[in-house]
Amino acid sequence: MGRLIFALERLDPTHKPKLINIIKDLLDNQQFNENFRRINGVTTLINELKRSQSNFILKMSLLACIYKLLLTTKTEVIYDFKLNNFTTLISLKLREPLDFKEMIYNVKILTHLMLDNDMSSKYIEDGLEDAIGLLVRSHPLNCHMIKFEDIEEKHEAQAFD
């Protein structure tokens, strides 16, 4: 497992989505899931997400993996997201024009993180304004403010498989 994290940190960005999708599939295994957290896998995913803002396919693969991680792990993984100040990263993303699928993943991830009392109270203080702004921009009268340039069909399998 350590080799997967090592490879994720050092691979060329064009190959990272495939590796991330392998990690995402392995998250169903409870032992892998627990070990992934122990070797700072969550921190690595978050750092890769911060670096991947210009690579849409990589960014979508990372968001899908983070979402799966939140769905398949116990609550202690939330602590890793707290340490990495992940809600600030999501808030910054909600301020930008988002692709529709990216917006959906960001909202789903944020929803799961809000189940933690500490994170939800911090987000209410610091980031609720961004979520409300997203809702206003998403209103049918303002839908021109959201990019609907989703991944081309030929690249979709690469990002989500």
Domains recognised in the chain with CATH numbers: 2-160 (1.25.10.10)
Task: Find out whether 106 and 90 touch, Cβ atoms under 8 Å.
Answer: yes
Q: What is the pLDDT of residues 69-88, one digit of tens each?
A: 998 887 778 888 888 888 88
Q: What is the pLDDT of residues 10-21, one digit of tens each?
A: 888 888 999 999
Going by C-alpha positions, the residue among 136, 71, 75, 145 that lies closest to residue 105 is: 71
For every residue of 68-131, DSSP letters joined together read HHHHHS-TTHHHHHHHTTHHHHHHHHHHS--BHHHHHHHHHHHHHHTTSHHHHHHHHHHTHHHH
The helix/strand/coil state of 44 is helix
- pLDDT tens string, the chain, 161 residues long: the values are 788 888 888 888 888 999 999 999 999 998 998 888 888 899 999 999 998 888 889 999 999 999 999 988 877 788 888 888 888 888 778 777 777 788 888 888 888 888 888 888 877 777 677 777 776 666 666 655 555 445 566 665 665 55
